[in-house]
Amino acid sequence: MIVTNNPYCYFYRLPILIPKMKAIILNENGGPDKLVYAEDFPEPLIKPNEVLVNVKATTVNRADLVVRTGYPGLQLKFPHILGGDIAGVVSNTGSDVKNFRVGDRVVSWSIVSEADDDWARRGKAGQSPAWQYFGMHRAGSYAEFTPVPESSLINLPDNVSFEEAACLPVAGLTAYHAIKTIGDLQKGDKFFIWGGTSGLGIIAIQLAKSIGAEVFATAGYPYKIEHLKKMGVDHIFNHRDGSAIDDEVLNLTNGSGIDVILDYVGPEAFPKNFKMVKKGGKILFCGILTGREAMVSLHQTYLRHISLLGLYLGEKRELEELVKLVSQGKVKPHIGAELELKDAAKAHEMIAKGEVIGKVVLKV
């Protein structure tokens, strides 16, 4: 069919073949059954400043379960692709990309933040109001291919596997940001974490031990307690046996308490945190497994100089430092299970039950 009036130039309407890819699609909020595996989802296009990453591995995070179920105020554009952990190989590059080539091994910061604002100028681009998170504000990693701005990419050393790398952008970075930056943990400090065998917990404990802190951690099953023992945790507690962990901690510290507490449990753990933290200590919050609100005694907070600090993820430079530590063998993520992408619903169920040590990896 001729589509021009120029008698010297003829164009014909030809079918445009859009490449297809494997992906887990969320068409509506709900349970794990809403995760639909497809092998014919349109491959995304990239902008001039973006790289198309052929995802080799990703992991399932608690945030994925929250987004899947539906979070107040968060409006998804369906169909939506979950996943904040991107590790893979550069498949294509936009015209403005300068530092990455096809075939490069990469891992992505889980944040896109390209605004030139005060936050960025202070080296805190990840806290800019313009920040976006893969799998929440934009398409994520539960797919064969995903577009990533060059500014979010990090080169992946050859001695770090894609599976290990996929454990770092969300859980690993949050642990690093909490221990090294927000908590500013020091040698000789007492560090406490609830749920020490989570993907975040395992990396946080390794970082705390490397600093020379005295580590206190909880677990809910005998096999998890054994894992913490093998990691060299100094004091281990079972948070399912009904014991008064806060009293035990105070006894072990001669009443002085804990310097830095890392908590992603939320309201259920807050009263114990408040009791355990020492004068001048810090309680770090990075999750809300048991709810969104808790009561706080303001006068005790200022009389005891307690710092209540919230955090999420971290900065790109911190992820670069964490990747370097993994490459050097100083930190090692723990992979509790590896599943195929099509088994994402099963992976979500495993995370919800809380029975896996470390991370659940999806191989794409």
Q: What pLDDT is stored for residue 293 in this prediction?
A: 78
Query: Locate tokens 């048991």: which residue?
Result: 290
Which residues lie below 8 Å from residue 271, measured CB to CB, with a gap of 6+? 246, 294
pLDDT higher for 241 or 41?
41
Q: Give the CATH number of the domain where residue 217 resides.
A: 3.40.50.720
Q: Half-sphere exposure (CA, 13 Å, Cβ side) for 314? A: 25
Which pLDDT band, with edges at 50, 70 and 90, does 186 fall under? very high
Q: What percent of the chain has pLDDT over 90?
A: 79
What value does the mean pLDDT take over residues 118-138? 91
pLDDT digits (tens, 9 = 90+) for 27-82: 999 999 999 999 999 999 999 999 999 999 999 999 999 999 998 888 899 999 99
Same domain? 343 vs 258: no
CA distance 256 to 189: 12
pLDDT band at 16 (very low <50, low <70, confident <90, very high): low
Percent of the chain residues past pLDDT 70, beyond the cut:
95
Task: Look at residue 9 in the predicted model and tell me its pLDDT.
Answer: 42
Classify residue 261: in a domain, yes or no. yes
pLDDT value for 287 = 83
Of the listed ranges 35-44, 154-163, 224-233, 288-297, the least confidently predicted one is 288-297
CA distance readout (Å), 286 to 61, 178, 179, 233: 13, 9, 12, 21
341: which 2 tokens?
Answer: 């992408």
Q: What's the pLDDT score for residue 15?
A: 56
* pLDDT (0 to 100) of residue 242: 76
pLDDT tens, 187-201? 999 999 999 999 999
Same domain, 29 and 63: yes
Mean pLDDT within 230-236: 97
Q: Which of 309, 304, 305, 214 is nearest to 258 (CA)?
A: 214
With beta carbons less than 8 A apart as the criterion, state whether 100 and 106 touch.
yes
The enclosing domain of 110 has a CATH number of 3.90.180.10
Residues 345 and 209 in one domain: no
Residues 202 and 124 in one domain: no
- What is the SS3 assignment for 157? coil
pLDDT the model gives residue 10: 39
* 231, pLDDT greater than 70: yes
Residue 220 CB: number of other CB atoms within 10 A? 16
Residues 51, 71, single domain; the answer is yes
Asked if residue 338 and residue 239 are part of one domain, the reply reads: no
Number of domains in the chain: 2
Q: Domain limits at 234?
A: 172-310
**Residue count of the chain:** 364
Same domain (yes/no): 177, 202: yes
Q: How confident is the model over 298-326, as a mean pLDDT?
A: 93
What is the full DSSP assignment across 160-177?
S-HHHHTTIIIIIHHHHI
Mean pLDDT for the stretch of residues 81-104: 97
pLDDT > 50? residue 11 = no
The span from the CA of 202 to the CA of 172, in Å, is: 9
Q: Are 189 and 259 in contact (CB under 8 A)?
A: yes
Rounded Cα distance between 315 and 176, Å, is 10
10 Å CB burial of residue 242 (0-12, 13-18, 19+) is exposed
